[in-house]
Amino acid sequence: MRASGFSVLSFVLVALAHVASAKAGETIVVKITDLAFVPAEVSARVGDTIEWVNVDFIDHTATASNGAWDLALPAGSRGRLVVKQAGVLGYFCRVHPNMTGTLNVNEK
Ligand SMILES: [Cu+2]
């Protein structure tokens, strides 16, 4: 009885993993270090996740130049965004406007 319960659970977990991998895009990591986005320019597809990892001891933001989003990234934190629109999108840090980056987003 115990053994069969376990195998049913494994089956459900495998099925869920399949659904997740079919739907989710890739995660692209942009590191924030020494007052810079690294890499400053990344390519992504609609549905991908951009994850900013702030390893500085200073607070930053990732703010879209067109105002579409504004992520607060306190020192030592990380923040994520799922890209929903194709196009070339610049972004910057509101605290240090000379910190800039670019997302090149292609259709799925
Ligand atoms: Cu900054």
- The alpha carbon of 54 and the centre of ligand 1 are apart by a number of angstroms equal to 9
Arithmetic mean of pLDDT over the chain: 87
Pick the CATH number of 25-106 from 2.60.40.420, 3.40.140.10, 2.60.40.10, 3.40.50.300: 2.60.40.420
Query: Could you check whether the bond before residue 97 is cis, i.e. omega within 30 degrees of 0?
Result: no
- The alpha carbon of 11 and the centre of ligand 1 are apart by a number of angstroms equal to 46
| Residue 71 pLDDT | 98
More confident: 11 or 108: 108
pLDDT at 2 over 70: no
Q: What is the pLDDT of residues 4-53, one digit of tens each?
A: 555 554 555 555 555 554 456 999 999 999 999 999 999 999 999 999 99
